[in-house]
């Protein structure tokens, strides 16, 4: 890494890229970042859904709005709960030589987030969590109750909001991996994560996705450079995705699965496979399937992730360990130091061209095949379905500085 450089990392979905994301990149610059790398979800996102538009277009948005390089967070970590999502992202930022991690949070208090992260890694928390779970409480509520019992209501309240929770998981991941990433957080302003109405000139990604689906009212909440890409993709029939286009295919996959196949999916525990198996033989719509399996113990995001894992053939074994490579989605001229640093000091391959696949080990090739399935499936959720094979045939996005 260049002696005077201060490389900063961001973990994101950009689904879609909006003014709040641009503000985060700007804040990283204002606080000393000379280069900004993004580790971004690919064709499927954490809440268990296809991304609104392709990973390539979202990478281009980020590059045109201030990022220097965008790398893909592989599917088993991208479409996962906060803990695994953060672990994969932080690991890849460390491989890139990032010295800081920048993220938004509702509280804006790094010290409070660090203290809570340390608590969640303590033996005392593990014991208290086990006690709370034994009472039949769902994991999120049990975790919050355990923190409240050990550190009081203010610490527990941090776990009630999504960006605080992700920030805590980033800090936990850095401790678990033994990597030095100086955290910097900006207070999330404007609309909250799931707000359906704008606030202070900012709109949530949830609201933006809804407005883009309806074709109205979204443009002023997206930076002009990103808005041009969105309009281009909409005109091409490459945005927005709609899971309803594949509802019967999803139902067929569920009906064709065995009990053992359900048991092998990620996030299956406590006999959930039996509930999924039974519901799949009764449900005639996805709404009906969700109503049959949903309880207070299982969040809708978890069930959606299980649903798409089933369709993709993703198993619990695929999500073990850490990402086996760095996939470069897009690059500005100013971002070349990131893949260069990863090749010099990292311990996983960097993929920037199709020929790089020849150097992958067996696990890496399996992961690329899985990403290919994800890309091919994502293409079928589009207004105008795209051909298969784009995961390998689509070139890296280049933006001139």
Express each pLDDT in 165-200 by its tens digit: 999 999 999 999 999 999 999 997 655 655 556 776
Among positive and negative, which fits the CA dihedral 375, 377, 379, 382? Answer: negative
- Residue 355 is predicted with a pLDDT of 82
Residue with tokens 């061209």: 353
| Torsion of the alpha carbons at 173, 175, 177 and 182, rounded to the nearest 10 | 80
7-106+184-241+322-399 placed in CATH 3.30.2010.10: no
- Residue 197 is predicted with a pLDDT of 64
Comparing CA positions, the residue from 186, 184, 220, 215 lying closest to residue 200 is 220
For residue 333, the 8-state DSSP code is G
- Residue 376 is predicted with a pLDDT of 98
Task: Name the residue ranges covered by the structural domains of the chain.
Answer: 7-106+184-241+322-399, 110-160, 243-319
CA dist list (Å): 192 to 54, 103, 104, 388: 25, 15, 11, 36
d(CA 384, CA 216): 20
- Which residues are annotated as part of the binding site for ATP? 11-24, 104, 163, 188
- Which residues are annotated as part of the binding site? 11-24, 104, 163, 188
CA dist list (Å): 270 to 133, 140, 172, 244: 12, 15, 25, 29
* CB burial string 318-356: b at 16+ within 10 A, e below: bbeeebbbbbbbbbbebbebbbebbeeebebbbbbeeeb
In this structure, are residues 74 and 40 in contact, taking their beta carbons and an 8 Å threshold? no
The residues of the chain scoring below 50 in pLDDT are none
Residue 50 pairs in a beta bridge with 44
- Residue 359 is predicted with a pLDDT of 83
Q: Does pTM surpass 0.85?
A: yes
In this structure, are residues 77 and 11 in contact, taking their beta carbons and an 8 Å threshold? no
- Residue 190 is predicted with a pLDDT of 56
- Residue 296 is predicted with a pLDDT of 83
């Amino acid at each position: 890494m260049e002696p005077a450089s201060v490389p900063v990392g961001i973990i994101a979905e950009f689904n879609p890229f909006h003014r709040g994301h641009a503000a985060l990149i700007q804040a990283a610059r204002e606080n000393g970042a000379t280069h900004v790398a993004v580790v971004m979800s690919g064709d499927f996102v954490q809440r268990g859904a296809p991304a609104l538009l392709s990973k390539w277009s979202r990478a281009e948005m980020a590059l045109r709005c201030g990022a220097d390089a965008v790398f893909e967070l592989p599917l088993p970590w991208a479409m996962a709960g906060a803990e695994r999502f953060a672990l994969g992202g932080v690991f890849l930022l460390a491989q890139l030589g990032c010295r800081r991690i920048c993220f938004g949070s509702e509280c804006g208090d790094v010290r409070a987030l660090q203290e809570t992260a340390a608590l969640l890694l303590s033996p005392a928390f593990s014991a208290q969590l086990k006690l709370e779970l034994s009472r039949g409480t769902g994991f999120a509520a049990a975790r919050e109750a355990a923190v409240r019992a050990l550190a009081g209501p203010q610490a527990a309240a941090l776990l009630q909001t999504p960006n605080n929770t992700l920030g805590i998981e980033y800090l936990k991941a850095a401790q678990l991996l033994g990597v030095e990433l100086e955290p910097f957080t900006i207070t999330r302003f404007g609309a909250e994560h799931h707000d359906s109405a704008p606030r202070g000139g900012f709109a949530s990604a949830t609201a933006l996705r809804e407005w883009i689906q309806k074709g109205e009212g979204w443009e002023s909440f997206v930076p002009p450079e990103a808005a041009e890409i969105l309009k281009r993709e909409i005109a091409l029939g490459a945005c927005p995705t709609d899971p309803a286009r594949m509802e019967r295919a999803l139902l067929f996959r569920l009906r064709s699965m065995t009990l053992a196949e359900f048991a092998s999916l990620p996030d299956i525990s406590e006999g959930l496979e039996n509930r999924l198996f039974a519901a799949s033989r009764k449900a005639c719509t996805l709404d009906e399937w969700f109503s049959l399996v949903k309880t207070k113990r299982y969040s809708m995001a978890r069930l959606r992730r299980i649903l798409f894992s089933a369709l993709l053939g993703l198993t619990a074994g695929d999500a073990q360990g850490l990402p086996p490579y760095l996939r470069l989605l897009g690059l500005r001229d100013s971002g070349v130091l990131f893949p260069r640093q990863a090749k010099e000091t990292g311990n996983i391959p960097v993929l920037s061209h199709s020929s790089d696949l020849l150097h992958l080990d067996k696990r890496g090739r399996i992961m690329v095949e899985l990403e290919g399935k994800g890309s091919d499936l994502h293409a079928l959720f589009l207004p105008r379905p795209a051909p298969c094979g784009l995961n390998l045939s689509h070139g890296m996005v280049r933006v001139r500085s």
